[in-house]
Amino acid sequence: MFYVIGLGLGDPKDITVKGLEIVKRCERVYLESYTSILTCGQEKLEEFYGRPLIIADRELVEQGADAILAGANQSEIAFLVVGDPFGATTHTDLLLRAKEKGIPSRVIHNASIMNAVGCCGLQLYSFGETVSIPYWTDSWQPDSFFDKVLANADRGSHTLCLLDIRVKEPTLESLTKKIRQYQPPRFMSCSEAADQLLKIVHRRRESGESSCRLSDRSIVVGLARVGHETQVIKACTLREMHQLDLGPPLHSLIIPAPEMHPLEVEYLQQFCDDDLQALVKRALAPPSTIFKLDATLSSNS
């Protein structure tokens, strides 16, 4: 049997009882290490599980899938994933490869950022399409994901932005000279994501795009280390988020819908500074069942 097991978001104890029982009896256990990470690190996991783990980086998963699946017809092999197994298409591909080889497989689910974002009070069924914000370079600055943010806003939906991580990425020299060299690990922060969003907003307004709903005064929600005891949630303007340090990774960013339900706003208040909290409280005073964040900020600025 080939198992793909979700580890949850916080620490080693977040694995399910079912998942832990499987891990303890498997012949080989791989730990996927490039679509996400646990803040506790490999050693803490090995200590809790009582067995060694094989790190599965991007190179191994994408080019060595056959090695991972080898022997799974005769024994039990586990592949551990931070969050839930279906949080990344890479894991779907592994399961399809197992099926092609006639290897039985089983998925053990767990919490992921896709449902844990409810911790900020925004209602899960009000979220639209999730987007990923990639790191920019001097010559590559894609912004196609921004159109999905605008489309979500037009539909009255929140947007969860998953922020880029770079683990064991080859250096430019290693690509040109065919030597093994890797860049230091990088994890995009909410501040970096806000900086790129501000630049996109500025460019689009300069180009005359009048339909851009986002501005530097739009409310965003920063999440850091969700599920961990050091979890941080901060609601502020996009401009303010650019200046905030929410601490170590992993970070995620939410762009709320322009119109929010009063219960969402009331819950979100606790993560605002006093000045913004006052605006939010005043917005709840009218009998309307909907609160327009951008309009309130504009009229009170």
Same domain as 198, residue 121: yes
pLDDT on residue 296: 46
Q: 301 a known binding residue?
A: no
Q: Are residues 198 and 274 in the same domain?
A: yes
Tell whether 89 and 147 lie within a shared domain. Answer: no
Report the pLDDT value the prediction gives residue 209, as an integer from 0 to 100.
73
* Kind and range of the H or E run holding 7: none
Q: Which pLDDT belongs to residue 275?
A: 64
Q: Mean pLDDT of successive 10-residue segments in the chain (301 residues)?
A: 94 94 96 78 90 88 89 96 85 92 96 94 96 92 94 95 83 68 84 96 83 83 94 94 95 94 90 70 45 48 41
Is 84 assigned a ligand-binding role in the annotation? yes
251 in a labelled binding site: yes
Tell me the sheet residues that pair with 2. Answer: 77, 105
CB atoms within 10 A of CB 274: 6
Among 65, 92, 111, residue at a domain's last position: 111
The CATH number covering residue 57 comes to 3.40.1010.10
Residue 228 marked in a binding site: no
Between CA 42 and CA 190 the distance in angstroms is: 25
CA distance 71 to 170: 30
Contact between residue 63 and residue 90 where contact means Cβ atoms under 8 Å apart: no
Q: What are the helix (H) ranges across the chain?
A: 17-25, 42-49, 58-63, 65-69, 89-100, 113-116, 145-154, 172-177, 190-206, 238-242, 262-268, 274-283, 293-300
8 is in an annotated binding site: no
Residue 226 among known ligand-binding residues: yes
Residue 109 marked in a binding site: no
Among 78, 111, 144, residue at a domain's last position: 111
Cis peptide bond N-terminal to 250, omega within 30: yes
Residue 93 annotated as lining a ligand binding site = no
Domains: count for the chain: 2
**How, if at all, do strands 105-108 and 131-133 pair?**
unpaired
Which residue is associated with the tokens 């501040």?
191
Q: Does 60 lie in the same domain as 19?
A: yes
Boundaries of domain holding 132: 114-298
Last residue of a domain, one of 85, 111, 137: 111
pTM of the model: 0.86
- Name the residue among 78, 93, 122, 69 with its Cα closest to residue 257: 122
* Residue 147 and residue 48 in one domain: no
CATH number (domain holding residue 261): 3.30.950.10
Q: Are residues 137 and 282 in the same domain?
A: yes
pLDDT of 173 reads: 67
Locate 63 and state its tokens. 């080019």
DSSP 8-state secondary structure symbol assigned to residue 285: S
Burial 252-272 (b: 16+ CB within 10 A, else e): bbbbbbbbbbeebbebbbebb
Between CA 61 and CA 58 the distance in angstroms is 5
Separation between Cα atoms, residue 13 and residue 224, nearest integer Å: 19
Same domain, 93 and 132: no
Token pair for 119: 């911790």
The answer on 45 and 126 residing in a single domain is no
**Tokens found for residue 244:** 């905030």
Distance CA 93, CA 86 (A): 10
Closest by CA position to 254, among listed 130, 144, 166: 130
Determine the pLDDT at residue 131.
96
**Chain centroid, CA 121 distance in Å:** 17
